[in-house]
Amino acid sequence: MGGWTIGIIGGSGLYALPGLEEIARHDVETPWGRPSDAILEGRIGTTRLLFLPRHGAGHRIPPSEINARANVDALKQLGATDLLAISSVGSLREELPPGRFVVVDQFIDRTVARPASFFGTGLVAHVSLADPTCPRLSASAAAAVEAAGGDAATGATYLAMEGPQFSTRAESLMYRQWGADIIGMTAMPEARLAREAELPYALVGMVTDYDCWREDEAGVVATDVVAQMHANGATARKLVQAFAKALPAERTPSPIDTVLDHALLTVPAARDPAMEEKLGAILRRLTTSPAT
Ligand SMILES: CSC[C@H]1O[C@H](OP(=O)(O)O)[C@H](O)[C@@H]1O
Ligand SMILES: Nc1ncnc2[nH]cnc12
């Protein structure tokens, strides 16, 4: 058993973590390219944190161009044990008004233009995504929202859309019929890649708007979303503090830590060495013999 290193992936409105006692700033190169920004390493209590704003400082990178493989790989390289992602989301439910915090447990993925796996020809893997988020981390995240003075809904389904335009009314109504509760543009393929990287993943959505399914209401206006984002931001920063402080000093293993044990299909003799090298950080647990 060791300690926790929590990778915090900050979304729209969360580009820095004031209050984080900064230890280092890492400019990481990965075989998939560069992550969205430098990763800040800090500590809250006994918890080591790695903070990465997924749109880059100043919100430079649109959803479809976020290099999620580089982001997850870089956090893995720096020793992340778990990922807590934070996102601004639209609401598809009357009972989830702007200002509400929502802990996600399922996804419907409608993204179409993003590399969604670390694996490929030369090394094939199929991980389970039946339960794409980590229950332990999600429960801690919900408790942290409450500790930060927010109101957390749990068990939500997040519809990931390609964007960058917001949905049409017909799409928004259809997503409601599908059972989605909130909508955003960034959690996929991030959550898929976290699972492939054996990183337990939790996502807290901060509701900024009602999308466009309500009759007699105007569509989503990005600048209105930004105003609500700022209103949510203070609670988001407090929730990160509360989350980190509440973790026990020791991290007991999660079943997600070892999902690749049952997922790699390509037999060792048929593996492409170049692919194995590219997957260095992702496969490190399997290729490093335990210390004697
Ligand atoms: C500013 S509204 C649209 C933008 O906000 C969300 O991003 P994130 O999940 O990183 O907070 C949404 O997915 C869009 O990218
Ligand atoms: N209505 C919406 N649709 C997609 N992404 C969002 N992010 C915040 N609000 C959103």
Is 7 within a domain?
A: no
Q: Exactly one of 82, 209, 224, 257 is catalytic; which is it?
A: 209
Q: Is the pLDDT of residue 277 over 70?
A: yes
**Domain count of the chain?**
1
Listed in order, strand segments (DSSP E) in the chain are 5-10, 21-26, 39-44, 47-53, 82-91, 101-109, 152-160, 182-184, 201-209
- Rounded Cα distance between 233 and 206, Å, is 9
The structure's pTM equals 0.97
Best residue among 209, 214, 221, 226 to mutate for probing ligand 2's pocket (most ligand atoms within 8 Å of CB) is 209
Domain assignment present for residue 115? The answer is yes
207 lines ligand 2 (CB under 6 A): no
The percent of residues in the chain predicted with pLDDT above 70, rounded, is 98
- The answer to the question of whether 192 is labelled as a binding residue is no
Structural domain boundaries, residue 191 = 86-283
pLDDT tens per residue, range 177-191: 999 999 999 999 999
Ligand 1: atom nearest CA of 86 is 11
Distance CA 233, CA 236 (A): 5
Position 25, amino acid: R
Secondary structure, 3-state, 51-93 = EEECCCCCCCCCHHHCCHHHHHHHHHHCCCCEEEEEEEEEECC
**pLDDT-based confidence at residue 18 (cuts at 50, 70, 90):** confident
Q: What is the CATH number of the domain that holds 251?
A: 3.40.50.1580
Residue 292 has pLDDT above 50, yes or no: no
Q: How many helices (H) and strands (E) does the chain have?
A: 7, 9
Which residue is listed with tokens 């990160």? 240
Length of the chain, in residues: 292
Look at residue 291 and tell me whether its pLDDT is greater than 60: no
Q: Which tokens is 250 given?
A: 């020791």
Known catalytic residue at 209: yes
For residue 179, being part of any structural domain is answered with yes
Going by CA atoms, what residue is nearest to atom 14 of ligand 1?
185
Question: How many Cα atoms sit within 13 Å of 38 on the Cβ side?
Answer: 9
Give yes or no for a contact between 203 and 140, defined as CB atoms under 8 angstroms apart. no
Q: From the candidates 211, 216, 257, 272, give the one annotated as an active-site residue.
A: 211
| Confidence check: pLDDT of 100 > 60 | yes
Average pLDDT over residues 145-160: 96
pLDDT for residue 55 is more than 50: yes
ipTM of the complex: 0.99
- Spacing, Cα 226 to ligand 1 middle (Å): 10
71, part of any domain: no
Question: Is 1 one of the annotated binding-site residues?
Answer: no
Ligand positioned closest to the Cα atom of 53 = 1
Whole-number pLDDT of residue 1: 67
Ligand 1 pocket, 232 CB below 6 A?
A: no
Q: Has residue 138 been placed in a domain?
A: yes
105 among known catalytic residues: no
Question: Does 169 reside within a domain?
Answer: yes
145-149-153 Cα angle (round to 5): 45
The minimum-distance atom of ligand 2 relative to the CA of 166 is 3
pLDDT confidence bin for 290, thresholds 50/70/90: low
Q: Provide the pLDDT for residue 289.
A: 62
Residue 145 lies in a domain: yes
Whether 236 is in a domain gets the answer: yes
